[in-house]
Amino acid sequence: MGHYKSNVRDIEFNLFEVFDRGEVYGTAPFEELDAGTAKEILAELDRLACGELAASFEDSDRHPPIFDPVTHSAPVTPSLKRSYEAWMESGFWRLHAAAEIGGQETPASLLWATAELILGSNPTIWLYSLGPAFSSVIHKNAGGVKRDERIAQIMVERLWGSTMVLTEPDAGSDVGAGTTYAEPNVDGTWNISGVKRFITGAESDLQENIVHLVLARPRGVEGVGGPGTKGLSLFLVPKYHFDLETGELTGERNGVYVTNVEHKMGIKSSNTCEVTFGDPQVGGGEPAKGWLLGEVHDGIRQMFDVIENARMMVGTKAIATLSTGYLNALDYAKTRVQGADLANPGKDAPRVAILEHPDVRRSLLTQKAYVEGMRALVLYAATWRDRVQVAELAGQVDADETRLAAAVNDLLLPIVKGYGSERSWVLLGTESLQTYGGSGFLEDYPIEQYVRDAKIDTLYEGTTAIQGQDLFFRKIVKNHGVALDLLAAEIRLFVHSDGRAELQESRELLGTGLSDAEAIVSQMLADLVASDPSSGGTVTNVYKVALNTSRLLLVLGDVLVAWLLLRQAQVALDRLDDEISEGDRLFYEGKVAAATFFVATTLPKIASERAIAAAVDLGVMDLDERAF
């Protein structure tokens, strides 16, 4: 048995009992993937995840790749290679590629349901196998350019790897400050020059070629290449040159080399690289040649297709790790005998499993509630993407309903990523590991690796602070609150519905929590208006907004998770009225318990967050930096 413990039962409960995906699967454009097929895919991927993929999780962490600066290589451990090959041989990676280039048209909700299994069992496998997903981005943004469409197809045919290349050593998250540049050649290619950092999967011995998606600033072309993110374009830069018709490698090395591999606290088996482009002192001194994607200078918009996929991935990875952390902790709590029952504390009282102790039960139910609520959050966000997919493939991209669905999906992304990663990281360390006591600090159990691996999720694809600012400034203010208002209306409708009487008190708490969250939004909007000098405001009031953006992210996450847990509880209570098996009865009772526990212990805290948000002043900004 490997380390990984999955929960396909809960995944299917969300897909088919809560979100009614059975009404979508098997219909256009997903005719080949009906509900039965989807369940078969989940079952087979569960077997693969718990077996071949999980098998190398520990070994590849203990024996991470070693960078050779002479050959610029960093081969992975043999066990990881076997796991990777098992994943590629399964063919399920085709779910992530567009049908036009050899993939399978897959609803987003099923895609991210399957992703949880891979990311929970061995996230490095997913990170090295992003070629098919990124090839779909290339195909989507090719703009009819046959060359780029063919490159995307070749990447799928030959199972190439791919990377997203944004960050630079001196720019960090300020992507617009990047200095990597591109100069055109007479043959239509471009020479890329510069250094990028923190590039995931930029080197391994798992694929014959890797296509880097590189943001760079054009030079020598009128009207493009200016300052900031708008001056960036997206280029396709292969590790090895290849024939554009057949995909066969020519044997010539392109001038793009990994020049360092980072030493990290977690996900050690995933190469995180410094990549140098077109340096005459590196490698063979060749220029790093690439192609402008789609022959348009629109790089940051194109790259956001990659970034949005990556943010969903990071949130799913975080939640998947918390899920297996919780299930491992639960098993330990059932078997670890220590101490007497508090209700029978006599000296000769029998020792009991720690699951019988009150605080252990509180901890486990807290983990269960967050895991199952955040899993629902991921899949709920994906249902909005399902709507967008259906509309896009039906040629209804410009319909108002499609735009609204896309806006709601966009609003949920920073919450999935930011809230999911923060809550998962904290709970893994404070609850899952704590369940083991001192044993959790040892390598004897997988939880210590889970904790180390999970921390990166709060940093990947923008820190939590960046997610909070994106949520407020881009997804609420720029959208004029339309998407947020829609979600608030749905939650309020649930609060005032004629639902099960058993949930009446919980619905009232949800209504109060929603009102408190909306008050925080209103406070932030007022502070934003007060920062506009043209309206008589003081520009530094914008600092008050920024001091509350992370708070808002976490508060909205709590409200959404509470709502989704209560939706699950409503379904569960209805199922409990039927004749069901003992296993199903316990499953549904657990759903009701998790929902009511979460609402009662989490939502009342939002009132405090509201008070704190209202009291935020500029004291922290006025403090002399020497006083820190």
Residue 1 has pLDDT above 80, yes or no: no
Burial of residue 281, with CB atoms counted within 10 A of its CB: 0-12 exposed, 13-18 middle, 19 or more buried: exposed
pLDDT in tens, 350-399: 999 999 999 999 999 999 999 999 999 999 999 999 999 999 888 888 88
Q: Which helix (H) or strand (E) holds 325?
A: helix 299-335
Provide the 10 A C-beta neighbour count for residue 619.
7
Strand 256-261 versus strand 272-277 pairing type: antiparallel
The separation between CA 105 and the C-alpha centre of its own chain, rounded to angstroms, equals 21
Helix axes 582-602, 504-529, angle to 10 degrees: 40
Question: From residue 602, how far is each of 426, 431, 607 by CA, in Å?
Answer: 15, 15, 10
- Rounded CA gap, 398 and 293, in Å? 24
Report the SS3 class of residue 290: strand
Question: From residue 579, how far is each of 4, 258, 322 by CA, in Å?
Answer: 32, 61, 32
In 3D space, the residue among 198, 195, 201, 202 whose CA is nearest the CA of residue 173 turns out to be: 198
In 3D space, the residue among 520, 478, 546 whose CA is nearest the CA of residue 608 turns out to be: 520
167 Ramachandran zone, left/alpha/beta (phi>0; psi -120 to 50): beta
The confidence score (pLDDT) of residue 393 equals 84
pLDDT in tens, 225-242: 999 999 999 999 999 999
Contact 483, 408 (CB under 8 A): yes
In 3D space, the residue among 252, 271, 211 whose CA is nearest the CA of residue 74 turns out to be: 271
Identify the residue whose tokens are 């709601």. 408
CB neighbour list of residue 137: distance below 8 Å, 6 or more residues apart = 213, 302, 305, 306, 309
261 — phi, psi (to 5°)?
-125, 125
Report the SS3 class of residue 161: strand
In 3D space, the residue among 393, 339, 329, 546 whose CA is nearest the CA of residue 29 turns out to be: 393
Strand 249-253 versus strand 161-165 pairing type: unpaired
CB neighbour list of residue 88: distance below 8 Å, 6 or more residues apart = 129, 159
Residue 503 has pLDDT above 90, yes or no: yes
Apex CA 100: angle with CA 97 and CA 105, to 5°? 50
The confidence score (pLDDT) of residue 398 equals 84
Provide the 10 A C-beta neighbour count for residue 601.
13
Six token digits for residue 301: 């918009």
The confidence score (pLDDT) of residue 394 equals 85
Residue 40 has pLDDT above 90, yes or no: yes
Amino acid of residue 408: V
Amino acid of residue 605: K
Residue 594 has pLDDT above 90, yes or no: yes
- Dihedral of alpha carbons 553, 555, 558, 563, sign: negative
Query: DSSP characters for 246-288?
Result: T--EEEEEPSEEEEEE---SS-TTS-EEEEEES-TTSTT---E
Mean pLDDT over all residues of the chain?
A: 96
The confidence score (pLDDT) of residue 171 equals 86
Strand 190-200 versus strand 337-340 pairing type: unpaired
Residue 603 has pLDDT above 70, yes or no: yes
Contact 304, 410 (CB under 8 A): no
The confidence score (pLDDT) of residue 172 equals 81
- Rounded CA gap, 53 and 402, in Å? 37
pLDDT in tens, 174-219: 899 999 999 999 999 999 999 999 999 999 999 999 999 999 999 9
Provide the 10 A C-beta neighbour count for residue 611.
12
Query: DSSP characters for 353-415?
Result: EGGGSHHHHHHHHHHHHHHHHHHHHHHHHHHHHHHHHHHHHTT-TTSHHHHHHHHHHHHHHHI
- Rounded CA gap, 296 and 303, in Å? 13
Tell me the HSE value of 90 on the side-chain side, using a 13 A CA sphere: 23
Selected catalytic residue, list 461, 505, 508, 625: 461
- Taking residues 442-457, what's their average pLDDT? 96
490 is catalytic: no
Strand 240-242 versus strand 249-253 pairing type: antiparallel
- Rounded CA gap, 220 and 125, in Å? 40
In 3D space, the residue among 450, 433, 618 whose CA is nearest the CA of residue 57 turns out to be: 450
- Rounded CA gap, 550 and 473, in Å? 12
Residue 346 has pLDDT above 90, yes or no: no
Asked if the peptide bond before residue 29 counts as cis, ω within 30 degrees of 0, the response is yes
- Taking residues 42-46, what's their average pLDDT? 98
Scored b (16 or more CB within 10 A) or e, 25-42 reads bbeeebeebebeebbebb
pTM metric for this prediction? 0.96
SS3 content of the chain, % helix, strand, coil (to 5): 60, 10, 30
The confidence score (pLDDT) of residue 149 equals 96
The confidence score (pLDDT) of residue 395 equals 85
